[in-house]
């Protein structure tokens, strides 16, 4: 049995935390969030359908549903951008060698 759903802010916080721990997830989230809202929603519908076939956890499907929402996408984009800036103390990409 699943617990109560998270608030939109809690979903954003959770996705930012995961993106900060794994740069590849951060890159994928940024790519998804850069899509036009309708395109993003359609693409995420396909991802969710694929994951349902493989019995993905409900919280994963909930996150996908949240990413379809423009307000959530905007908030997450802002948080991910802030996490990448040196002024915020977030991770930065080292200069090329």
The reply to whether 1 falls in a domain is no
The reply to whether 97 falls in a domain is no
Give the integer Cα–Cα distance in Å for 16 and 77. 9
Give the integer Cα–Cα distance in Å for 6 and 75. 16
Structure confidence at residue 54 (pLDDT): 87
Domains held by the chain: number: 1
The reply to whether 78 falls in a domain is yes
The upper half-sphere exposure of residue 48, i.e. CA atoms within 13 Å in the direction of its Cβ, equals 17
Give the integer Cα–Cα distance in Å for 77 and 83. 10
Domain, as residue range, for 51? 8-83
Give the integer Cα–Cα distance in Å for 32 and 42. 11
Tokens coding 73: 């996408």
Structure confidence at residue 2 (pLDDT): 58
Residues in the chain predicted with pLDDT less than 70, given as ranges, are 1-4, 85-97
> Could you tell me the pTM of the whole model?
0.74
């Amino acid at each position: 049995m699943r617990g109560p759903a998270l608030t939109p802010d809690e979903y954003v916080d959770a996705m930012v935390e995961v993106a900060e721990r794994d740069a590849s997830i951060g890159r994928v989230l940024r790519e998804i969030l850069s899509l036009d809202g309708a395109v993003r929603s359609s693409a995420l519908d396909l991802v969710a359908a694929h994951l349902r076939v493989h019995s993905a956890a409900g919280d994963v499907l909930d996150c996908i549903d949240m990413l379809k929402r423009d307000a959530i996408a905007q908030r997450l984009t802002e948080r991910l951008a802030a996490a990448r800036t040196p002024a915020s103390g977030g991770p930065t990409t080292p200069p090329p060698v």
